[in-house]
Amino acid sequence: MTEQIISKEEKKSPSSPKDVFLHILMIGTLYVSTFMFSSLWFDYVNFLFPDKLNYFYRNILDGILAGTSTLIVVFPVFLLTAWLLEKEIKTEPEKRELRIRKWLVYLTLFVAAIAIIIELARLVYEFQSGTLTMNFFLKVFIVFIVAAVTFGYYLWDAKREVGSVSALPKIFAFGTGAIVLGSFMLSFFLVGSPATQRAMRFDEQRVSDLQNIQYQVINFWQTKEILPAKLSDMSDNISGFVPPTDPDTRASYEYTVKNPLAFELCATFGAKSIENSAPDRAYAVPEMVTPEGKMAPVENWSHEAGRVCFERTIDPAIYKINKPMPVIIQNPTVLPVK
């Protein structure tokens, strides 16, 4: 009698390594897709409704790029595996009763339910503490919608009868695919094309080069009490410093002495700087302190596309002149007096 029950159960829920692989791959890509979709929209919210106390444009751009690149690869894999499983279930309806399928579906329901409960609790907490902002509300709304849609669909899928035919899986696939595609296209309007991003990466290196040159100019003035006449005057085979050149064109940066304490650095940029790309945003700017413990002026490297010059004036009250250290001779040799 027991053998008959076991054989009946095995016949009812056949399984194979292929089934295990497809189900785990589908659920894994589902989790990654939902997480990266939520993260992507979090960055969109941070861009459109910034938190003035915590706004870092470059981090937002990197988050958007990471979200779109992950979704463009992972989400099609999820749709493909879901389609293959649905196709096999239509051919063999008894595969809907696979244990691994039920376990993974109910695990997904559990995760989605916990996400909804946590976000609702966070919403109530923020409301009571008086710190509820549009930025936070939209993020809670995104998580709630994503979790609710996932929970609703897989709850319906768990209750489907063996052999039932429905157009909802196809509608779900096309609907989520259109939303993900729209989210991907939105990134082009907010952060620009890949060509724009490449230009901004080159510009970041140009700013880094100009900062390095500026430091070397100040160090040269502190040591010799005069500004270098040209960039090549700062070359040093001991420290290894060589004036950098443009990372794209390899052209030399422009350097001009304005007066004994002022100089100008110029470069040709490929795109707007981060600050100019989002002029209405608030930025967290780190304070600069000199080795002497005095506050130094915060450097401004914002720029438009094209040739831009930055004029700098050395403040002797902040940047002290480095006087040469006296040379001490150890164990001097005393010559006999003739």
pLDDT of residue 14 exceeding 70: no
Counting every residue written for the chain, the total comes to 338
Query: Is a pLDDT exceeding 70 seen at residue 331?
Result: no
Query: How far, in Å, CA of 220 to CA of 321, rounded?
Result: 10
Using the Cα atoms of residue 44, residue 46, residue 49 and residue 50 in order, give the sign of their dihedral.
negative
Say yes or no to pLDDT of 159 above 60.
yes
For CA atoms 35, 36, 38, 43, the dihedral sign is positive
Per-residue pLDDT for 254 more than 90? Answer: yes
Per-residue confidence (pLDDT) for residue 2, from 0 to 100: 43
Please say if the pLDDT value at position 7 is more than 70: no
What is the share, in percent, of the chain residues with pLDDT greater than 70? 79
In the predicted structure, residue 220 carries a pLDDT above the cut 60: yes
DSSP string for residues in 175-215: HHHHHHHHHHHHHHHHH--HHHHHHHHHHHHHHHHHHHHHH
pTM of the model: 0.67
Amino acid identity, position 294? K
Judge whether residue 263 has pLDDT over 90: yes
In tens, the pLDDT along 181-200 reads 888 888 888 777 778 888 88
As a whole number, mean pLDDT of residues 313-319 equals 86
Token pair 């749709």: residue:
79
Q: What pLDDT, on the 0 to 100 scale, is given for residue 244?
A: 92
Mean per-residue pLDDT, 237-253? 89
196-207: average pLDDT: 88
Give 325's pLDDT tier (boundaries 50, 70, 90).
low
Average pLDDT over residues 194-217: 89
Q: What is the pLDDT of residues 102-132, one digit of tens each?
A: 888 888 888 888 887 887 787 777 777 766 6
Predicted pLDDT of residue 307: 92
Highest mean pLDDT: which of 15-29, 210-224, 269-283, 318-332? 210-224
